[in-house]
């Protein structure tokens, strides 16, 4: 069995047999993988609580020939993101980010951009438990997986919605629809000018930049609704924590 080394984030985990754990990781070099931590539930386990949700570390594992379930050789913690477990808000938002990142990639498929986006978002979430961070993460992740929302021109008539008009975002069309063309996009959700401005800057700026500009409550609610339908449209049944998140927010 060849030995592999890569940076990795723990994105879940469940028990196997009497003493083992199966840990899914999002890795920097090798995408999403699952690996067995032998004896992880024994009192004197050498993993000693390191394989907790969100933990970023250096993973060394034996690659199995069939590539479905590998075996952990060593996991050394780089950043435990302990702050994310300090309150229910951060915990559920962190769980949502992890789940969304995990759903965006098939097992064995590699995508360094998704790993880096998740790592940066978890880092920011420790200090800024803000809806804007989640929204920024969502639209950037959608872009990485190939669902780039059109935010400038109407996807039906190609016009640029002017000031004072009420455009919408249509998940099935993949972005903006002007008020005149709404009848041709029945799933269109009204989007405010402020939300649209946020989406544009979130798509093109850094994750942390979107935390600088304040955004009033009605717009954060509007953004959440718009992106939730886009995320659900794209990832569909692969997500579980969307429902959980709505209980907390």
The residue ranges that bind Zn ion (CB under 5 A) are 154, 156-157, 178, 181
d(CA 27, CA 112): 8
Q: How far is the CB of 120 from Zn ion (least distance, A)?
A: 36
Q: How far is the CB of 163 from Zn ion (least distance, A)?
A: 16
Q: Which of residues 34 and 173 has its CB atom nearest to Zn ion in the complex? A: 173
Q: Which of 187, 223, 201, 224 is nearest to 152 (CA)?
A: 201
Q: Which of residues 57 and 175 has its CB atom nearest to Zn ion in the complex? A: 175
Q: How far is the CB of 227 from Zn ion (least distance, A)?
A: 21
Q: Which of residues 88 and 157 has its CB atom nearest to Zn ion in the complex? A: 157
Q: How far is the CB of 130 from Zn ion (least distance, A)?
A: 33
Q: Which of residues 160 and 216 has its CB atom nearest to Zn ion in the complex? A: 160
Work out whether the CA dihedral 152, 157, 161, 165 comes out positive or negative. Answer: negative
Q: What does DSSP assign to residue 162?
A: P
Question: How far are the Cα atoms of 22, 26, 59 from residue 3, in angstroms, in the given order?
Answer: 18, 17, 10
Q: Which of 239, 233, 245 is nearest to 149 (CA)?
A: 233
- Helix H or strand E encompassing 102: helix 88-103
Q: How far is the CB of 191 from Zn ion (least distance, A)?
A: 14
**Of how many residues is the chain composed?**
249
Q: Which of residues 56 and 181 has its CB atom nearest to Zn ion in the complex? A: 181
């Amino acid at each position: 069995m060849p030995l592999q080394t890569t940076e990795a984030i723990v994105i879940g985990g469940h028990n196997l047999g009497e003493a083992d754990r199966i840990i899914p990781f999002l890795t920097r070099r090798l995408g999403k993988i699952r690996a067995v931590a032998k004896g992880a539930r024994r009192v004197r386990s050498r993993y000693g609580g390191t394989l907790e949700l969100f933990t970023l570390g250096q993973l060394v594992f034996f690659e199995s020939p069939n590539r479905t379930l590998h075996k952990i050789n060593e996991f050394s913690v780089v950043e435990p993101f302990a702050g994310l477990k300090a309150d229910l808000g951060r915990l559920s938002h962190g769980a949502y980010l992890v789940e969304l990142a995990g759903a965006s990639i098939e097992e064995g498929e590699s995508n360094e951009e998704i790993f880096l986006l998740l790592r940066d978002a978890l880092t920011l979430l420790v200090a800024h438990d803000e809806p804007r961070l989640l929204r920024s993460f969502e639209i950037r992740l959608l872009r990485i997986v190939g669902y780039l929302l059109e935010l400038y021109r109407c996807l039906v008539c190609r016009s640029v919605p002017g000031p004072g008009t009420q455009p919408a975002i249509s998940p099935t069309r993949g972005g903006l629809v002007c008020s005149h063309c709404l009848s041709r996009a029945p799933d269109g959700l009204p989007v405010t000018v402020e939300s649209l401005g946020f989406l544009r800057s979130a798509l093109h700026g850094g994750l942390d930049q979107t935390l600088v500009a304040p955004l009033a409550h009605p717009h954060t609610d509007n953004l959440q609704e718009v992106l939730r339908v886009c995320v659900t449209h794209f990832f569909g049944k692969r997500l579980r924590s969307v429902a959980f998140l709505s209980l907390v927010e």
